[in-house]
């Protein structure tokens, strides 16, 4: 028996940002626009969003302070802004960080509670409606209920999701993705691949999430290198964007696993891009799970262009990482041998990501995976 | 640019009927249970549903009068029963007929309007929440917003759908499907295949509906004959049930096309099973669209186990029909040469199904497709 539920109304393609006015007017009259510090302004997306909101009669206030790996403190400040401004709607604009922050702000603004309450086990009674406008193809946050935040005091980075944190509607606008520089394209693109891979091998996988996951991986293999080599290749950009959204749908039901569990402490403590952390950990991770799900690994090998045998998945993944110059290790990201114990302790606490892993992992396994990943593959 | 939206909460697998109590209690306290005249009673499903509703504290009233190809009059009677009983929830139990009737009853009960109003272009302002429990694998109605009804006076059979006619939640309980006799298994299973095929070739197809459609066709080819030969083969039954739900998701976005448009007048006038009508028309239909979408037909050929070339799709489909003894023509279902003009006139009025067809069809084309389908393939 399995369950499937995903109520997000999704608009995908070139120019979907233009839908924001009509959709916003359906859900509110005063929007808090949540975005990062500069890139959406620089490419004109923020200004265009404000225009279409105004044309639709929706008043807007901009909260443009979301950092990469957003913190509890940022979310609480954003929620206060929404309450002060009597906003009845939250719009996330950008990559995973502003989109995740928007979901959390909507919940905190409606309940008046600090976000730490929910990460400590509290249940939200309500949330403002959220629209998301995706400008990177990585997170898939536009298509799922999850948000990942960092506790700025402990540096713990953690995922969270609830029936109330689904966006009401999302716009995946591939035109906005043209602006991603190559390194960001590679890191976010690998995040997509690992969303697909983890949802596929997850113990929470269903026939539907597997379908999404396999197609997402296939599309990454087909398009990532081309999008990395030439950011103006809109066919490749579109393929990657669709892969990202599909992978978001895959993890919404199938969840992520230990690989995300291993990465979160890395970007939580070091503020490195999430996708780069995943890449550095991925070969050791794949080798670790291989004996537990050989048939699925064989399929992954085949998707990666290798002969369909489980052990070939490693070589296939190595080639994918190399194709976008992401085959470095954790040491290059600043992780040292001395940090391994602390990282492993944090990773061991992400029980939900351990539960879904196809192979149980002890604290010793986790430490070994970090050590093995210090040097690149 | 494309849009995707499907808010149905879906429970799939053995024993999902047991979820009905908790789900019903979430949406109401007094349910109208809409079902057919006997089969759900005979296999004990109706009694079990009433038990789980009672355990959950939900009062229930049974409207057990839904005929195959349900009429406007039946829906209006059901809506009256819901209003008389002050029901705040409608539960469809059975195949496509009761599930479709439940959606329509929910809308008519909430608005107080006869269903003919909506088929004449009226917009519903409201609808009672609907739960669906699927006992056949054919219609996919549990996973989409569509309902098909017959005007008992004109014998016109027509599809209809709206944002308000999505089920809130659906249970696809494969245990209930054990009871389907072979001929029904074949007819409903081919309906699934054609939902997949039509959604795939439809001009409304999206990358997501194509993904669902291809997987649905693949599963039918893999499982239909086995489920037909041995109704107790639960692996095959489960494969067919999942194919049916996926195909419902495919047509929710991708819609059906002229093949459904051709069939509706047949079962509307003659009360034959919908899947048998589709089967009789399908070879002529596939031959007709082949020049308009050769690449997709080549993929269909491949899914049917033939070499990947467009013209092989015909032979592949013929083998599928023969494998479940459904290769007869329209004449066997009671259609005569004299009826062709009338059928064609009705089919020509289903503009929405003509719009989605990959090849435009004139009234003369439509007449020719009926004539060509009189004798089996």
- Judged by a CB distance cut-off of 8 A, whether residue B311 touches chain A is no
Tokens 């074949």, located at residue: B186
Which residue numbers in chain B have pLDDT < 70? none
B360 near A CB under 8 A: no
Quick one: pLDDT at residue B290? 98
- In angstroms, what separates the C-alpha of B219 from chain A's closest C-alpha? 12
CATH topology of domain A182-372: Dehydroquinate synthase-like, alpha domain (1.20.1090)
* Distance of residue B365 Cα from the nearest chain A Cα, in angstroms: 35
* A144 interaction partners in chain B (CB closer than 8 Å): none
Phi and psi angles of residue A90, each rounded to the nearest 5 degrees, phi first: -125, 135
pLDDT value at A350 more than 90: no
Confidence band of A271 (pLDDT split at 50, 70, 90): confident
Q: Which helix (H) or strand (E) holds A89?
A: strand A89-94
Residues of chain A neighbouring B15 (CB-CB closer than 8 A)? 1
Query: Following DSSP, what letter does each residue of B158-204 receive, concatenated?
Result: EEEE-GGGS-SEEEEEGGGGGG--HHHHHHHHHHHHHHHHHHHHSTT
At the topology level of CATH, where does B180-372 sit? Dehydroquinate synthase-like, alpha domain (1.20.1090)
A212 chain-B contacts, CB cut-off 8 A? 211
Whether A100 and A72 have beta carbons less than 8 Å apart is answered as: no
Q: Residue B165's pLDDT is what?
A: 98
Percentage of the residues of chain A whose pLDDT score is greater than 70 = 100
- Residue where the block lists tokens 């209920």: A145
Q: Does A22 contact chain B (CB < 8 Å)?
A: no
Cβ–Cβ under 8 Å, residues B168 and B8:
yes
CATH architecture of B9-177: 3-Layer(aba) Sandwich (3.40)
> Among candidates A248, A283, A300, A278, which has minimal Cα distance to A347?
A278
Give the residue with greater pLDDT, B352 vs A337. Answer: A337
**pLDDT at residue A377 tops 80:** no
Find the CB nearest B1 among A5, A16, A246.
Answer: A16
Confidence band, pLDDT 50/70/90 cuts, at residue A256: very high
Are B2 and A12 inside 8 Å of each other by CB? yes
Q: What is the pLDDT of residue B141?
A: 96
ipTM: 0.94
**Given this model, what pLDDT does residue A181 score?**
93
Tell me, what DSSP letter sits at residue B147?
A: E
pLDDT digits (tens, 9 = 90+) for A208-227: 999 999 999 999 999 999 99
Q: What is the pLDDT of residues A97-156, one digit of tens each?
A: 999 999 999 999 999 999 999 999 999 999 999 999 999 888 899 999 999 999 999 999
HSE-CB of A356 using CA atoms within 13 angstroms: 24
- Contact call for B3 and A14, based on CB within 8 A: no
pLDDT of residue B349: 87
* Mean pLDDT, range A329-350, rounded to an integer: 95
Question: Of A155-169, A225-239, A340-354, B117-131, which gets the smallest average pLDDT?
Answer: A340-354
Task: Report the b/e string of A232-255 with b at 16+ CB within 10 A.
Answer: ebbebbbbbbbbbbbbbbbbbbbb
Task: Tell me, yes or no, if B211 comes closer than 8 A to chain A by beta carbon.
Answer: yes
8 Å CB contact of B2 and A14: no
CB contact under 8 A, B9 and A12: no
Domain boundaries, chain B: 9-177, 180-372
CB–CB contact A1 B10 (8 Å):
no
Q: Do A5 and B5 touch (CB under 8 A)?
A: no
Same topology, domains B9-177 and B180-372? Answer is no
Q: Does A12 touch chain B (CB under 8 A)?
A: yes
Are the CB atoms for A164 and A113 separated by under 8 Å?
no
């Amino acid at each position: 028996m399995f369950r499937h539920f995903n109520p997000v109304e999704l608009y995908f393609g070139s120019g979907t940002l233009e839908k924001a006015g009509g959709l916003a007017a359906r859900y509110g009259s005063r929007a808090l626009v949540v975005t990062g510090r500069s890139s959406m302004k620089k490419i004109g997306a923020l200004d265009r969003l404000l225009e279409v909101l105004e044309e639709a009669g929706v008043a807007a206030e901009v909260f443009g302070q979301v950092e990469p790996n957003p913190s509890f403190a940022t979310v609480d400040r954003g929620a206060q802004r929404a309450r002060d401004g009597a906003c009845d709607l939250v719009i996330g604009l950008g990559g995973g960080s502003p989109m995740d922050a928007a979901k959390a702000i909507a919940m905190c603004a409606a309940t008046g509670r600090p976000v730490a309450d929910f990460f400590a086990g509290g249940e939200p009674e309500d949330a403002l409606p959220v629209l998301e406008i995706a400008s990177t193809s990585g997170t898939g946050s536009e298509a799922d209920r999850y948000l990942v935040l960092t506790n700025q005091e402990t540096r713990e980075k953690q995922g969270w999701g609830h029936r109330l944190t689904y966006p009401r509607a999302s716009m995946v606008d591939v035109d906005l993705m043209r602006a991603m520089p190559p390194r960001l394209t590679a890191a976010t693109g690998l995040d997509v691949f690992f969303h697909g891979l983890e949802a596929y091998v997850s113990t929470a996988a269903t026939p539907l999430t597997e379908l999404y996951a396999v197609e997402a991986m296939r599309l990454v293999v087909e398009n990532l290198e081309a999008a990395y080599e030439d950011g103006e290749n809109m066919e490749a950009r579109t393929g990657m964007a669709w892969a990202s959204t599909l992978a978001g749908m895959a993890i919404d039901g199938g969840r992520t696993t230990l690989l995300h569990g291993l990465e979160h402490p890395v970007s939580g403590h070091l503020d490195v891009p999430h996708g780069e952390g995943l890449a550095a950990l991925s070969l050791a991770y794949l080798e670790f799970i291989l004996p537990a799900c050989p048939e699925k690994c064989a399929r992954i090998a085949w998707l990666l262009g290798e002969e369909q045998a489980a052990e070939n998945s490693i070589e296939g993944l190595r080639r994918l990482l190399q194709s976008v110059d992401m085959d470095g290790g954790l040491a290059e990201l600043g992780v040292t041998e001395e940090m391994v114990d602390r990282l492993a302790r944090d990773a061991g606490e992400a029980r939900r990501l351990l539960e879904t892993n196809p192979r149980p992992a002890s604290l010793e396994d986790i430490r070994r995976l970090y050590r093995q990943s210090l040097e690149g593959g």
